[in-house]
C-alpha cells in the first residue's frame, strides 16, 4: 500500500511577513522571545526575517537561528546573489538552516514591475537556487504572484527549480486574489503536470485581501499541499496572512473529515497569540476565530442552557485545547519572586538575571498600588521594563507634571533626556495629554505626525494600569509606541517617547525596498 503523507508542515512567517504589518516592527530581543514561543508551539519552520534587507534584519535572523532550538530556521532572499549570500551569512552555523528565495512569475509583475522576460526570470530562479544549494541542502523557492501566473509557465519554472535543487516549492497568493476552488485546482494541476514534483513539498502562502487566506490554504492542503505558511493572529502585509491558529485548529477539529495533522502543541496557541499581540501592539479583534476574547464566550440563554447540560451542544472545541484555561487572577503583593518568574515563563517570557530583577521590582510597586495583579499587568511590565530597554534610547522621559481642569488651560512641564542631556520645557494644549505631547515634540524637534492614539485599561477597576498605544509617521516610516502606568498621562508620555525612539531606530535601520 502507498504511504500517504498526512502531515502538514507549519511554516511560521510572523517574524518576516507578519512584521510587514504597518507599525509592527519588532526589535531583536522581541523576535527572540516570539521565536522561543513558536518553538514551544512546535512550528516546523520559522522565517526569522529577510537578512539582506537591513542590518537589523540580518542580526535578527542570525540570533534567532543560532539561539532558538527546534524548528528549521529560514531567511528570505530575492533571486539575487547578494541576497542569497546575506541569507547564508546570517544562517551559517545554525543547526537547521533554510534559504527561501523568490522571484515573480506572473505576467503582470514581470512586465510592469521587473521588466523581465519569462526566460530571464526562470534562468535567474535556477541560478539562485543553485547558488543557495552551494551553501546548504534545504532550499525553498517561491513563485511570487503564482495565483496570477499562467499555469503552463508556472509548471516549467517549478520543474526547473526542482532540478536545480529546491526541495520546497511555495505557491503564493501574493495579492489575496484566489478563490478556494481555483486555488485548490492550481495545486492539483501542479501535482499532475510537473513531472518531478514528487521530489518536493508543495507549500502555499495566502494573503487575506478577500478574507479567504485560511480557506485557500485549506483547499490547497486538500489538493496536496503539505506546507502552509502562516502567522500568529494572521498579521502580515496589508490584510495579513493565513492565521496559524485558525488553520491548525481546522485540522485538529475536523480530522474526521480531513485526515491531516500538524505538529502543533495547540495548548500553546493562546499564549502565542497574546505574546504577539502584546509585543506588536496589534490587537486581536474580539470576534476573531480561536483566539478572540469572544471566541468561547456564550451569551445567548439558550446556548448557556445547552452548555450547562452538555458542552458538546454548542462547543466544537474545548477552550483548554488552545491553552485558555489559565486563571485570570494571578499574583498579589505577597507573591514572591519564584511565583512571578513561573508566571512569566507560562506567559512565554523566559527572563532571568538583571532583567528579572527590574521586572520584579516594578511588579512589587504595582502590587502595592493594586490589590490584584493580572496577566495583562505582567505583560505590560515586561514590555516596559525589559523589551523596551533593548531599543537604543535616544530620548528618555525624566519628569512630567501636568495641570488642567474645567477652568484652567491644560499645561505641562516635561524633562526629557536627549542624547544624554536633560532638557526641560513647558507647553500647553487642548487637554493634559495634548499639552504633554506638544511639549515633548518641542523638546525633541520631531517632524512626525501622530496617526493614532488609543488608551485601554489593562484590567478592570479605577486602580487599573492604563496602556497607551500611539502610531507615528515620518517620511513613510510608521511606528507604534506603547506605555503603561497607573497614571494615564504618564502612560501617554511613555508611549510617545517609545514611539519616537522606535522611529529613530527605524530611520537608521531602513529596509531595502523589494526591487529585483
Ligand atoms: O506574499 C508573497 O508572495 C511573499 C513571498 C515573498 C513569499 O511574501
Ligand atoms: Zn507574503
**How does DSSP assign 98-121, residue by residue?**
EEEEEEE-SHHIIIIII---HHHH
The ligand placed nearest to the CA atom of residue 203 is 1
413: part of which helix (H) or strand (E)?
strand 411-418
Domain with CATH 3.30.160.270 in the chain: 392-506
The ligand placed nearest to the CA atom of residue 144 is 1
- Is 141:194 a contact under the CB 8 Å cutoff? no
For residue 139 the three cell numbers come to 532550499
Domain with CATH 3.20.20.70 in the chain: 9-280
**Which residue among 102, 208, 213 is best mutated to probe the pocket of ligand 1, counting the most ligand atoms within 8 A of its Cβ?**
102
Residue with the three cell numbers 519564584: 338
174 lines ligand 1 (CB under 6 A): yes
Task: Give the E-state strand segments of 297-368 in sequence order.
Answer: 329-331
CA atoms within 13 A on the CB side of 177: 12
| Beta pairing class for 329-331 and 373-374 | antiparallel
pTM: 0.85
Residue with the three cell numbers 500568529: 232
Q: How far apart are CA 320 and CA 254, in angstroms?
A: 17
CA atoms within 13 A on the CB side of 375: 19
The ligand placed nearest to the CA atom of residue 236 is 2
Q: How far apart are CA 464 and CA 458, in angstroms?
A: 6
DSSP 285: P
Q: How far apart are CA 296 and CA 325, in angstroms?
A: 11
What CATH number does the domain located at 9-280 have?
3.20.20.70
| Dist. CA 67 → ligand 1 center (Å) | 26
Q: How far apart are CA 61 and CA 139, in angstroms?
A: 16
Q: How far is CA 432 from CA 38, 388, 409, in A?
A: 41, 25, 9
The ligand placed nearest to the CA atom of residue 149 is 1
Atom of ligand 1 at shortest range from CA of 16: 8
Question: What is the full per-residue pLDDT of the chain (516 aa) written as tens digits?
Answer: 567 899 999 999 999 999 988 778 788 988 999 999 999 999 999 999 999 999 999 999 999 999 999 999 999 999 999 999 999 999 999 999 999 999 999 999 999 999 999 999 999 999 999 999 999 999 999 999 999 999 999 999 999 999 999 999 999 999 999 999 999 999 999 999 999 999 999 999 999 999 999 999 999 999 999 999 999 999 999 999 999 999 999 999 999 999 999 999 999 999 999 999 988 888 899 999 999 989 988 777 787 778 888 888 888 999 999 998 654 456 888 888 888 888 888 777 888 888 899 999 989 988 887 777 877 788 878 877 777 656 678 999 999 999 988 888 999 999 999 999 999 999 999 999 999 999 999 999 999 999 989 888 776 677 777 888 888 889 877 788 888 888 999 999 999 998 998 888 777 776 555 554
| Per-residue exposure over 309-322, b if at least 16 CB sit within 10 Å of its own CB, e if not | eeeeeeeebeeebb
Q: Which residue's CA is minimally distant from atom 2 of ligand 1?
A: 174
DSSP 222: H
- Is 463:471 a contact under the CB 8 Å cutoff? no
Atom of ligand 1 at shortest range from CA of 17: 8
For residue 471 the three cell numbers come to 502610531
**Which residue among 174, 213, 242, 512 is best mutated to probe the pocket of ligand 1, counting the most ligand atoms within 8 A of its Cβ?**
174
213 lines ligand 1 (CB under 6 A): no
| Dist. CA 514 → ligand 2 center (Å) | 12
142 lines ligand 1 (CB under 6 A): yes
**Which residue among 207, 216, 241, 516 is best mutated to probe the pocket of ligand 1, counting the most ligand atoms within 8 A of its Cβ?**
207
Domain 392-506: which topology? Double Stranded RNA Binding Domain (3.30.160)
Q: What is Dmax (Cα atoms) for the chain?
A: 85
Q: Which residue's CA is minimally distant from atom 8 of ligand 1?
A: 17
Q: Which residue's CA is minimally distant from atom 4 of ligand 1?
A: 174
78 lines ligand 1 (CB under 6 A): no
The ligand placed nearest to the CA atom of residue 173 is 1
Q: How far apart are CA 279 and CA 281, in angstroms?
A: 6
CA neighbor of 63 nearest in space, from 30, 107, 21, 111: 30
Q: How far apart are CA 412 and CA 433, in angstroms?
A: 9
17: part of which helix (H) or strand (E)?
none
Amino acid at each position: 500500500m502507498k504511504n500517504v503523507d498526512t502531515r502538514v508542515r507549519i511554516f511560521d512567517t510572523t517574524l518576516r511577513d507578519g512584521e510587514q504589518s504597518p507599525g509592527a516592527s519588532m526589535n531583536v530581543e522581541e523576535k527572540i522571545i516570539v521565536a522561543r514561543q513558536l518553538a514551544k508551539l512546535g512550528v516546523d519552520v520559522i522565517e526569522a526575517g529577510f537578512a539582506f534587507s537591513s542590518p537589523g534584519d540580518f542580526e535578527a535572523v542570525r540570533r534567532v537561528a543560532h539561539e532558538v532550538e527546534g524548528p528549521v530556521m529560514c531567511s528570505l532572499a530575492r533571486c539575487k546573489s547578494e541576497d542569497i549570500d546575506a541569507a547564508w551569512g546570517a544562517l551559517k552555523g545554525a543547526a537547521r538552516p533554510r534559504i527561501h528565495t523568490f522571484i515573480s512569475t506572473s505576467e503582470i509583475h514581470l512586465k510592469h514591475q521587473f521588466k523581465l522576460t519569462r526566460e530571464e526570470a526562470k534562468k535567474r530562479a535556477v541560478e539562485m537556487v543553485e547558488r543557495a544549494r552551494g551553501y546548504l541542502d534545504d532550499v525553498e523557492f517561491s513563485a511570487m504572484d503564482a495565483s496570477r501566473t499562467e499555469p503552463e509557465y508556472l509548471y516549467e519554472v517549478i520543474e526547473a527549480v526542482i532540478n536545480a535543487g529546491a526541495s520546497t516549492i511555495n505557491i503564493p497568493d501574493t495579492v489575496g486574489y484566489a478563490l478556494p476552488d481555483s486555488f485548490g485546482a492550481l495545486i492539483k494541476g501542479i501535482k499532475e503536470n510537473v513531472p518531478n514534483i514528487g521530489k518536493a513539498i508543495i507549500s502555499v502562502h495566502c494573503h487575506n485581501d478577500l478574507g479567504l487566506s485560511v480557506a485557500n490554504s485549506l483547499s490547497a492542503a486538500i489538493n496536496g499541499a503539505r506546507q502552509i505558511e502562516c502567522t500568529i493572529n494572521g498579521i502580515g502585509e496589508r490584510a495579513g496572512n493565513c492565521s496559524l491558529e485558525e488553520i491548525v485548529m481546522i485540522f485538529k477539529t475536523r480530522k474526521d473529515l480531513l485526515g491531516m495533522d500538524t505538529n502543533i502543541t495547540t495548548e500553546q496557541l493562546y499564549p502565542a497569540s497574546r505574546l504577539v499581540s502584546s509585543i506588536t501592539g496589534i490587537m486581536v479583534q474580539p470576534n476573531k476565530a480561536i483566539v478572540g476574547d469572544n471566541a468561547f464566550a456564550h451569551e445567548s440563554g439558550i446556548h448557556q442552557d445547552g452548555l450547562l447540560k452538555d458542552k458538546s451542544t454548542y462547543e466544537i472545541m474545548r477552550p483548554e485545547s488552545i491553552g485558555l484555561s489559565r486563571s485570570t487572577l494571578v499574583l498579589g503583593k505577597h507573591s514572591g519572586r519564584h511565583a512571578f518568574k513561573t508566571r512569566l515563563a507560562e506567559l512565554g517570557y523566559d527572563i532571568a538575571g538583571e532583567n528579572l530583577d527590574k521586572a520584579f521590582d516594578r511588579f512589587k510597586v504595582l502590587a502595592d498600588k493594586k490589590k490584584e495583579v493580572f496577566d495583562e499587568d505582567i505583560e505590560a511590565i515586561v514590555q516596559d521594563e525589559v523589551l523596551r530597554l533593548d531599543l537604543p534610547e535616544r530620548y528618555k522621559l525624566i519628569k512630567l507634571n501636568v495641570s488642567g481642569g474645567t477652568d484652567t488651560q491644560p499645561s505641562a512641564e516635561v524633562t526629557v533626556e536627549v542624547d544624554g542631556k536633560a532638557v526641560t520645557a513647558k507647553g500647553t494644549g487642548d487637554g493634559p495629554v495634548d499639552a504633554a505631547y506638544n511639549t515633548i515634540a518641542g523638546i525633541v524637534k520631531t517632524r512626525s505626525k501622530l496617526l493614532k492614539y488609543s488608551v485601554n485599561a489593562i484590567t478592570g477597576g479605577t486602580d487599573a494600569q492604563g496602556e497607551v498605544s500611539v502610531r507615528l509617521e515620518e517620511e513613510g516610516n510608521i511606528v507604534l509606541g506603547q506605555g503603561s502606568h497607573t497614571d494615564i498621562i504618564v502612560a501617554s508620555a511613555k508611549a510617545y517617547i517609545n514611539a519616537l525612539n522606535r522611529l529613530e531606530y527605524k530611520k537608521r535601520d531602513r529596509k531595502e525596498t523589494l526591487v529585483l
